[in-house]
Amino acid sequence: MKLRYKFTLYISFLLLLVICGVSYTIYVAQKNLLTQQLSVMRTQTLRSFVSICTQSVKLNNKQQINDSINLLINTYRPSVVYAGFVDKSNEKIYISRDQNKNIDSEFMRRIVKTNIDFTEKYMSYSGEEIFEAVTPIMVNNSNEGTFVIGFSQSQMNKQINDGISKMTHQIKIVSIIAIILAIILANFLGYTFAKPLRMLNAAAGAISNGNLDVEVNFKSSDEIGTLFTTFNKMAKQIKELDSMKDSFVSSVSHELRSPLSAIDGYCDLLIDGIEKNFSQEQQLKGLRIIKQATIRLTSFINNILDLAKIKANKLEIKKKTTDIKDVVAEIVTLYKPLSLQQKKTIDYIATEEIPKVLIDADKIKQVITNLVSNAMKFTKENGKILIKLLPNSPGYGNEYIEVWVQDDGIGIPKEQVDLVFEKFYQVQEGEFKRPKGTGLGLTIVFEMVKLHNGYVWAESDIGKGTTFKFTLPK
């Protein structure tokens, strides 16, 4: 079933339940109200008539009593069935609603003198339910007679049922109109909700079919509008990720092809050199280039393997107390020949006595190596790479040491500084447009430092250079 029809069905069913509940509540309340109103009216009628009869008894005016009873019957017919008065000498004044001798004889017998107030319900011979009220007329603490009035309980019930019937009819009309309007409104709302979902579904289908240039135009200030904004951001990120993937594949091809070509070429050169008696210096040069290419390949493959282990939470960190100055000195020594070859300089300084830290020396060596390698790529000739060690972190406090890898290269645009640690991300402006690596080195740096409970970030100015900083707990 389509969402639109489901929505219409659910809303209509819910409204029907609400209408039934409200209708029942109104029915009960209206019935109680009508019953109470008629009971109050009956009580007020009785009190008013007793008051008139009392005054008439005091004046010994039986004609006034008769007139009052007659007025009562005519005014409240058919609700009042009969009324009568019996004085202390048992003389009766009696008038009935129907003036039927058979019925009158039944009711006449009920006009008897009494000293107490009481009410009684009984069924007449004709099958009508009667509510009878009996009240003695007291004058100066003397019983001067008794007033008896018989109300039709059946008539009262009929009035209640008629009132409820009219109300029920009105409720039915209002309910039918409400249900029709609800179905129309629910159908419209279902269509309103389903339309953007169909748009999203079509856009998602287009993305799944390989069309990444998808943007859904839907303006709304509610949650659906937020959903569309999020979807468009997601689509943009998917497109960027696809672009990063293509760039990664291109970079991987370059990273593999270049050292393998160098190894293959110099192996052939060394083989030929055996026959042609190349000098030891020529052969040594070839072996060094093969060694550099091997190191480059090993570093690249280790990065990929480490990233896979990090993603699977299987990378083991084996910490031990280490003098980080020794780690940095080893890396500087390793890069000295390459820096001289590229006409660049590399060095390190420690501002004060640097405490030993609990780290996995190999992993931190990989972190600094990746940062130095990155600095070497983007530093021009005669440029300088400096590794700086601080005994305390200015930003994170005395519980951390801080390591800087600083270069005076081309820098990173400010809007891209926070993105360089993302997988496969490569800066795509200015001189960065040519591929330089796979975009995995800084991701490895971020994850390795995170595994050591440290923090890493970058600060950069275009044309002035970049400084990568990270902290390690003491």
Looking at residue 237, which CATH number applies to its domain?
A: 1.10.287.130
State whether 284 and 345 are in the same domain.
Answer: no
* CATH code of the domain covering residue 106: 3.30.450
Tell me, what's the pLDDT at 365? 92
Q: Are residues 109 and 95 in the same domain?
A: yes
Q: Is 203 a domain residue?
A: no
**Contact at 8 Å (CB) between 422 and 307?**
no
Buried b (16+ CB within 10 A) or exposed e, 42-55: beebbeebbebbbe
Token duo for residue 452: 């050591």
What's the CATH number where 329 sits? Answer: 3.30.565.10
- 2-6, 83-87, 226-230, 417-421 — which is least confidently predicted? 2-6
In a shared domain, residues 13 and 155: yes
Q: Are residues 356 and 455 in the same domain?
A: yes
Question: Is the same domain home to 134 and 279?
Answer: no
Residue 90 confidence (pLDDT): 87
Q: Is the residue at 112 inside a domain?
A: yes
Q: Is 196 inside any structural domain?
A: no
- How high is the pLDDT of residue 425? 66
Of 297-306, 336-345, 465-474, the range with the lowest mean pLDDT is: 297-306
- Residue 432 above 70 pLDDT? no
Q: Which of 267-281, 303-317, 421-435 has the lowest mean pLDDT?
A: 421-435
Identify the band that residue 434 occupies on the pLDDT scale cut at 50, 70 and 90.
Answer: very low
Whether residues 326 and 409 share a domain: the answer is yes
Percentage of residues of the chain with pLDDT beyond 70: 94
pLDDT exceeds cutoff 90 at 456: yes
**68 within a domain of the structure (yes/no):** yes
Q: What's the total number of domains in the chain? A: 3
Burial of 427 (0-12, 13-18, 19+ CB in 10 A): buried
The answer to whether residues 321 and 443 belong to one domain is: yes
**Are 414 and 459 spatial neighbours (Cβ–Cβ below 8 Å)?**
no
Residue finishing a domain among 138, 160, 182: 160
A 10 A CB-CB count for 221 gives: 7
Clarify whether residues 244 and 113 are in a common domain: no
For residue 1, pLDDT beyond 70: no
> What is the average pLDDT score of the chain?
83
Report the alpha-carbon distance of residue 135 to residue 130 in Å, rounded. 16
Q: Could you tell me if residue 254 is inside a domain?
A: yes
Q: Residues 149-179: pLDDT tens digits?
A: 999 888 888 888 888 888 888 888 888 888 8
Cβ atoms of residues 30 and 170 within 8 Å: no
Measured distance CA(259)–CA(226) in Å, rounded: 48
**pLDDT in the model for residue 342:** 87
Instruction: Give the model's confidence band at 368: pLDDT under 50 very low, under 70 low, under 90 confident, else very high.
Output: very high
For residue 191, is it within any domain? no
pLDDT at residue 278, as a whole number: 77
Q: Does 324 lie in the same domain as 382?
A: yes
- Is the domain of 33 the same as that of 140? yes
Distance of CA 46 to the CA centre of its chain: 64
Bridge partners of 86, per DSSP, are: 92, 146
Confirm whether 437 is domain-assigned: yes
What is the reported pLDDT for 305? Answer: 84
- Token readout for 55 is 């005054």
Same domain, 133 and 248: no
pLDDT for residue 435: 45
Nearest Cα to Cα of residue 323 among 291, 290, 357, 297: 357
List the domain range (segments joined by +) for residue 267: 223-310
What are the pLDDT digits (tens) for 139-154? 888 888 899 999 988 8
User: Are 280 and 359 in a shared domain?
Assistant: no
